[in-house]
C-alpha cells in the first residue's frame, strides 16, 4: 500500500501535502510535532499498531480531540498515516541501531526526532513538517498553541477523497449551520505567529460586487493559505449562503461557473432560466431542493445589488 491517498483528480497526496494545503508551514510543523509528542504518551514506540489496538484507539481519540483539524478528513486518515509511518520508521531505526551496536534505546528517540518525516522522499518540495520547533518542548504546550491558532472558526470541507476547500472566518461567534466548525480563540503570543502578509489587508484585494472589501468573506480570502484564484469568488458566494454550501464548488466549476464574471452572468439570467438550471441539477442529484433554493436566493441578491 502506497503512502497517501488519491484525490478525485487521480493525484496521490501524502498526509503532509493535504495539511500544507490548509495550514502555513510553521503551523504544520507544530501540528506534526504535537502529534508525535502525544503518540509517545499513549503508545509503546517499540510495538506496531496491531500489537496495541486499545492504546491505538485511545491515541486516535485523544489526538482527534486535541487537534480537531483531522476531523475534516475521512477516518482522520492523515493522522493515522503519519503516526503509523513514524512508528514503523522508529522501530526500523531501533532494530538497525541495535544490530550495529552503536546506539542505545535511550538515545534513539532524540536521534529519531531529528530524522526526516515519512514520505519526505516523495514530497521533497514540502517543508520538514515533523521537526519539533525549538520553543515548543512539551505536548501540552504544542496542543495549547494549536487550540489558540485561529481567532474564530475554521471550516474544512473535503472534496472527493481528500480534496478540500478551506475557509477561515475571523469574527468571534460566527458559526454557519450544517457545516463542520472547529472553534478556537486566537491568543497565541506574538513570537509564535509570523506577521501577516501585505495581501492580508482587505483593501489590497480585488474589488467585487459579490463580496465587499470589508466583509468577513473577503477577510477570509485574505488570510487563506493558498494564493487567490478566480474560483474563490465562487467559493465565497457559496459559503455565504444559508445554509452554507462550500462543498458545491467543484460542481459549479464543472458546470462552467468558475469565476466572478460567470457568477454575475448567471445572476443576470431570468428567474425561469435559473429555476430550470437548478431543477436539472436537482434531477441529477447534484444538489437537494433546499440547496437549490438557497442558491436561487443568493443569485437574486446579487442581481438586486447590480441594479
Q: Residues 242, 299: one domain?
A: yes
Q: Residues 238, 292: one domain?
A: yes
Highest mean predicted confidence (pLDDT) among 84-98, 173-187, 188-202: 84-98
Q: Residues 236, 299: one domain?
A: yes
Q: Residues 37, 168: one domain?
A: no
Instruction: List the single range of 93-102, 160-169, 245-254 with lowest mean pLDDT.
Output: 160-169
| pLDDT at site 220 | 47
Last residue of a domain, one of 84, 102, 123: 123
* Average pLDDT value over all residues in the chain: 66
Q: Residues 53, 186: one domain?
A: no
- Distances from the Cα of 304 to the Cα of 158, 210, 273, 297, angstroms: 32, 11, 16, 11
Across the range 6-19, mean pLDDT stands at 75
Q: Residues 297, 182: one domain?
A: yes
Across the range 11-36, mean pLDDT stands at 85
**240 vs 141, residue with greater confidence:** 240
Q: Residues 161, 292: one domain?
A: yes
Percent of the chain with pLDDT over 70: 53
280 DSSP assignment: H
- Distances from the Cα of 63 to the Cα of 67, 124, 157, 276, angstroms: 6, 26, 20, 47
Give the chain's domain count: 2
Last residue of a domain, one of 81, 105, 123: 123
pTM above 0.85, yes or no: no
Q: Residues 200, 119: one domain?
A: no
Q: Residues 80, 17: one domain?
A: yes
Q: Is the pLDDT of residue 42 over 80?
A: yes
Q: Residues 176, 294: one domain?
A: yes
Q: Tell whether 158 is covered by a domain.
A: yes
| pLDDT at site 9 | 60
Instruction: List the single range of 60-64, 94-98, 177-181 with lowest mean pLDDT.
Output: 177-181
Q: Calculate the CA 78 to chain-centre distance.
A: 11
Q: Tell whether 49 is covered by a domain.
A: yes
Q: Tell whether 130 is covered by a domain.
A: no
Q: Is the pLDDT of residue 238 over 70?
A: yes
**Interatomic CA distance for residues 257 and 59, integer angstroms:** 43
Q: Is the pLDDT of residue 34 over 50?
A: yes
Q: Residues 177, 300: one domain?
A: yes
Show the domain range for 287. 152-306
Percent of the chain with pLDDT over 90: 4
Highest mean predicted confidence (pLDDT) among 23-27, 150-154, 276-280, 303-307: 276-280
pLDDT in tens, 135-170: 433 444 444 444 434 333 334 433 332 333 333 332
Q: Residues 32, 165: one domain?
A: no
Q: Tell whether 129 is covered by a domain.
A: no
Q: Is the pLDDT of residue 102 over 50?
A: yes
Amino acid at each position: 500500500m502506497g503512502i497517501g491517498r488519491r484525490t478525485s483528480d487521480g493525484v496521490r497526496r501524502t498526509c503532509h501535502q493535504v495539511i500544507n494545503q490548509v495550514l502555513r508551514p510553521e503551523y504544520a510543523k507544530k501540528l506534526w510535532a504535537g502529534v508525535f509528542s502525544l503518540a509517545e504518551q499513549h503508545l509503546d514506540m517499540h510495538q506496531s499498531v496491531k500489537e496495541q489496538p486499545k492504546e491505538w484507539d485511545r491515541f486516535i481519540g485523544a489526538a482527534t480531540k486535541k487537534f480537531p483539524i483531522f476531523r475534516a478528513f475521512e477516518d482522520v486518515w492523515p493522522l493515522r498515516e503519519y503516526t503509523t509511518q513514524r512508528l514503523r520508521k522508529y522501530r526500523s531505526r531501533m532494530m538497525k541501531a541495535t544490530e550495529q551496536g552503536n546506539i542505545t534505546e535511550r538515545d534513539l528517540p532524540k536521534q529519531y526526532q531529528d530524522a526526516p518525516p515519512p514520505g519526505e522522499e516523495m514530497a521533497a518540495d514540502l517543508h520538514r513538517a515533523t521537526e519539533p520547533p525549538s520553543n515548543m518542548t512539551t505536548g501540552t504546550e504544542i496542543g495549547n498553541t494549536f487550540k489558540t491558532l485561529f481567532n474564530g472558526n475554521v471550516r474544512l470541507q473535503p472534496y472527493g477523497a481528500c480534496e478540500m476547500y478551506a475557509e477561515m472566518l475571523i469574527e468571534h461567534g460566527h458559526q454557519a449551520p450544517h457545516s463542520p466548525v472547529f472553534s478556537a480563540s486566537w491568543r497565541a503570543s506574538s513570537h509564535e505567529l509570523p506577521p501577516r502578509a501585505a495581501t492580508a489587508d482587505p483593501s489590497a484585494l480585488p474589488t467585487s460586487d459579490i463580496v465587499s472589501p470589508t466583509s468577513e468573506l473577503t477577510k477570509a480570502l485574505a488570510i487563506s493559505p493558498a494564493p487567490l484564484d478566480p474560483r474563490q469568488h465562487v467559493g465565497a458566494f457559496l459559503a455565504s449562503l444559508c445554509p452554507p454550501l462550500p462543498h458545491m464548488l467543484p460542481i459549479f466549476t464543472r458546470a462552467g461557473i468558475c469565476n466572478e464574471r460567470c457568477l454575475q452572468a448567471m445572476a443576470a439570467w431570468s428567474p425561469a432560466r435559473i429555476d430550470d438550471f437548478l431543477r436539472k441539477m436537482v434531477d441529477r442529484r447534484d444538489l437537494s431542493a433546499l440547496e437549490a433554493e438557497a442558491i436561487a436566493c443568493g443569485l437574486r441578491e446579487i442581481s438586486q445589488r447590480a441594479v
